[in-house]
Structure 1
Amino acid sequence: MNDEKTDTVEVAEGARKLAIDIAIRALIEHASATDPDLRHRILQTIETYITGLEPQSELENDFAERARANAQSLIRPASY
């Protein structure tokens, strides 16, 4: 029973993340039409934040790599 509840929660969270990711990608795509530098600024803002993390522990390095990967996923241009 507990495993079923966990699976249901994970499915719900996955669906929520998918919806948010799609909405963010659409907004970035739309905004980039009038602001071509937007994607670059998003990445620069993330790098600035990551640079401020001290000391660089293994956990912080993992966080930084995941943040970069997630940002890249969100800002990549749509492929139609």
Structure 2
Amino acid sequence: MATASVTSKGQITIPVAVRVALGLEAGSRVEFVQTEAGKFAIVAATNSVNALKGMLRKPSSPISIDDMNAAIASHGAKAR
């Protein structure tokens, strides 16, 4: 298990094995995600918006702005 110490300024050095496993390098950002009370996961937050490309399939047919506005208006009214 990799461990690190917290400095008086609240800083830690992420161990090499962890940096390699997460693909972190100088300038990378990480997120601390609470998984349960008293436990956190470190998640690499280095992906750009371009990494999201292809995650959702394209709709089978195009939807007009008017149809989108109508759907928003009808579902929004039901929520209240």
Normalised by the length of structure 2, the TM-score is 0.29
- Relative to its length, the structure with more strand (as a share) is 2
- Relative to its length, the structure with more helix (as a share) is 1
Higher relative contact order (CA 8 A, sep 6+): 1
Structure with the greater alpha carbon radius of gyration:
2
